[in-house]
Amino acid sequence: MKSYIYLMALVVSGLTSATVEAQNVNDFFRAAGSPHNPKVKIAFNKYYTSEGLAAISKQIADAHPNLVKRKSIGKSTQGRDIWMLAITDYSVGDANRKPGFYVDGNIHSNEIQGGEICTYTAWYLTESFADVSYIKEMLKDRIFYIVPTINPDARNNYMKEGNTAHSPRAGMIALDDDSDGLFDEDGYDDLDGDGSITMMRRKNPNGNMIVDPLDPRKMIQIGPDDIVTTQRYEYLGGEGLDNDGDGRINEDVPGYYDPNRDWAWKWQPDYVQRGAYKYPFSVPENRAVADFVLSRPNIAGAQSFHNSGGMILRGPGAEEDVATYNRADVRIYDAIGNKGAELLPGYRYMTVYKDLYSVFGGELDWFYGARGVYTFTNEIFTGFAYYKNKDGDRDQAYKAEKDLLLGDGFTNWSTYNHPTFGEIEIGGFKKNVGRATPGFMLEEEAHRNMVFTFYHAHHMPLLSVNSITEKSLGNGLKEITAIIKNERLMPTHASQDLKYKIERPDNISLSGADVLAGMIVDSDDFNITTEQKNNPSILKVSNIPGNDVIKVRWIVKGGGKVTITVDSAKGGLVSKKQS
C-alpha cells in the first residue's frame, strides 16, 4: 500500500520512476562547455517573468552561499525588488576590493533576453566554479554584480499583457500622448485575446495591398504597373479600439518614456530627444542602479544587454560627445569589441552615434563619461542566426517562421467584427518573434554573450608587486625599488577618469622601515624621478597602464624586510613582502 501511495505521488507530481532515475549523474554524458550536474537546474530555452527571474536568483544564491550574495538594490515604480547577485570567491581576499564587473539587462521592457543572459551568466559562474579553472581564477580575482532585469514592472507588462514585439518601450508611468487629458486610454487592445498585438486589415476595393499568392500569411503592396484581379486590402495598424472616442486608435500607448534616455550624461529633455522623462535619474529603477554603482568604486567594466540587431555598441551616443572618448581608450574598446565580433557570429562592433543614431542620456555613456568605466551594450539577436549565412530581411523572417518555428510564431488571419471598422481580419507575427531569440537558439545566444562579458572582465586591471630590490647607500640608509605590474589590457584609470579625476589615485606604500623620501621613477636609464615630498611612504600614482609596469622608489632608514602594498580602487589591493 505504501509503495502504491508513493507511486501515485510521483504521478501526481509529474514524475515517473524513469524521470527520477534520469536525474542520476551516471545517466549523463558530459557536454563540453556546460555545467555537468548543476545544483540549480534551469531550462534556458524559455523566458521568465520578473518573479520567475527573482525565484531563480534566490535558488542560485541559496545553492552557492560561498559564491553569491543576493540583495535588492532598490524598488521599481510598482514596488518590485530589483535583485542583484554579487558573485565571487568569498573565501579569497576582500570581495569589496576586487575589480568589479557590472552586468544588467532588460532596461527596455520588450528587450527581454538580457534577463536570461544575466541569469545564465550567474548560473554558469556558480555551477562551473568547481570544475573550470578559468572560472575559479576569474572569481578569485574579480567580483561580478549581476542585475538580470532593471525594469521588472515593464518586463511583466510586455509578457503578460497584449503587446507588439516593440511595446511597451520602457516604463509603466502613464502618459497622455494625444493631450486630451486622459491617460493610457487608447493603448493597444488585444482583440483576439492571444496575448500578442498583431495587425488589422480590411477588404477594400481601392486598397493598395493584396495577399501574396506564394504565401497567404504575407501582404504585399501593389506596384504601379500591376494588374490586380484578386481581393484588395488596406492595413489599419495594430489591434486596437478608440476607447476615448476621439477618433484615434493606439495613440496613448502606456509608458512611452525611455529609461535609456534618463542617465545623467549629456541628458536632453523630451522636446529635444523623444523619450526623455522629467530630469536625469527621474526613473526610480535607474536611480537605484546609479546609487549602487556610485557606492562601488571598484567597478572597472560594465555590460548592458538590449535587443535586437546583432550589435556590440560602444559610445559616444552623440557626435557632440566624440571628444570624451580619446584615442587611448578607443584602442581598448576596439580590442575588446573586435574580439566580441569574433565570439558572436553575425554581430557587428559599432559606435552608437556613427553607425546607429544619436542617443543623449544613455546608460553606457554615463558609465564611461561619469564613472570612467569601459562599457558595452549588446543588441541581442540577428537574423543571421536563422540560417547562419546572412542577416536577412522580412522575407527571411517569414521563411524562418515556417522552416524553423514550424508555424508557431504567426497568428493566422481571422475575421473580427470591429466596432469602428466593421468586418476586419486580424493576423501577423506574434510578439515573441523578431526581437526575442527563439527558444532553441537562446542558450547559445546566452553563452556567447556571456563569454564576451568574461573576456571584457578578464581584461580589467590585474596588479602585482613584480619585484622588490634593495641597494645599500651607507650610513644605515637603503634604497628600495619596486616594480608594479598590470598584467591586463585595461589601466587602473581610463583616460576619462584621469581627465576629470573621477577616482582617487592609486596608493603604493612601503611599511617596515622609516621612509625618508619617496619617488616615482620616470626613467631608470637617465635617473629621472618625481619626488613626492608630502607623506612619502604612501606614493600617489595617477595611473597604472594596461600591460605595463611602473617603478617606484624609497630611501629608508633601518628596519628589516619591508612590505609593499598597492591599493587601487579599480585595480584591487595587493601586497608583497621583501624576500
CA nearest neighbour of 354 among 319, 379, 380, 328: 319
CA nearest neighbour of 510 among 487, 479, 488: 479
**E strands in 94-244:** 100-105, 143-147, 199-203, 209-211, 219-221, 232-238
DSSP 196: B
**164 located within any domain:** no
Looking at the structure, tell me whether residues 554 and 485 fall in a common domain.
yes
Residue 215 to residue 213: CA distance in whole angstroms:
6
**160 located within any domain:** no
Residue 123 to residue 141: CA distance in whole angstroms:
18
Overall number of domains in the chain: 4
Looking at the structure, tell me whether residues 422 and 329 fall in a common domain.
no
DSSP sequence for 26-43:
GG--PPTTS-SS-SS---
**551 located within any domain:** yes
Residue 8 has a pLDDT of: 40
CA nearest neighbour of 43 among 453, 445, 440, 451: 440
Looking at the structure, tell me whether residues 452 and 315 fall in a common domain.
yes
Is-contact 307 47, C-beta < 8 A? Answer: no
- The single residue listed with the C-alpha cell 629621472 is 528
- Residues in the chain where the model's pLDDT stays below 50: 1-22, 176, 182-185
Residues near 566 by beta carbon (within 8 Å), at least 6 away in sequence: 463, 465, 484, 506, 507, 508, 544, 572, 573, 574, 575
Centroid of chain to Cα 24: 35
**157 located within any domain:** no
Cell representation of residue 209 = 495591398
pLDDT digits (tens, 9 = 90+) for 322-336: 999 989 999 999 999
Looking at the structure, tell me whether residues 355 and 475 fall in a common domain.
no
Residue 391 has a pLDDT of: 73
Is-contact 435 445, C-beta < 8 A? Answer: no
DSSP 412: E
Residue 576 to residue 92: CA distance in whole angstroms:
16
**495 located within any domain:** yes
Looking at the structure, tell me whether residues 131 and 227 fall in a common domain.
no
Per DSSP, the three-state class of 168 is: coil
Residue 172 to residue 151: CA distance in whole angstroms:
9
How many CB atoms lie under 10 A from the CB of residue 232? 16
pTM of the model: 0.93
Looking at the structure, tell me whether residues 321 and 444 fall in a common domain.
yes
Looking at the structure, tell me whether residues 309 and 445 fall in a common domain.
yes
What CATH number is associated with residue 351? 3.40.630.10
CA nearest neighbour of 94 among 134, 140, 60: 140
Distances (CA, A) of 380 to 89, 104, 112, 309, 376: 29, 13, 9, 6, 12
Residue 177 has a pLDDT of: 52
Looking at the structure, tell me whether residues 281 and 248 fall in a common domain.
no
Cell representation of residue 419 = 466596432
Say what angle helices 113-128 and 133-141 make with each other, to 10 degrees. Answer: 100
Distances (CA, A) of 33 to 303, 444, 562: 22, 11, 44
Residue 566 to residue 304: CA distance in whole angstroms:
30
**412 located within any domain:** yes
Is-contact 537 515, C-beta < 8 A? Answer: yes
pLDDT digits (tens, 9 = 90+) for 460-500: 999 999 999 999 999 999 999 999 999 999 999 999 999 99
Residue 254 has a pLDDT of: 54
Looking at the structure, tell me whether residues 326 and 447 fall in a common domain.
yes
**545 located within any domain:** yes
Looking at the structure, tell me whether residues 137 and 183 fall in a common domain.
no
Report the alpha-carbon angle 96-101-104, nearest 5: 120
**168 located within any domain:** no
Looking at the structure, tell me whether residues 279 and 368 fall in a common domain.
yes
Task: Look at strands 232-238 and 311-314 and give their pairing.
Answer: unpaired
CA-atom Rg of the chain in angstroms: 29
Burial of 341 (0-12, 13-18, 19+ CB in 10 A): middle
Looking at the structure, tell me whether residues 25 and 37 fall in a common domain.
no
Q: Structural domain of residue 206, as residue ranges? A: 174-254+385-429
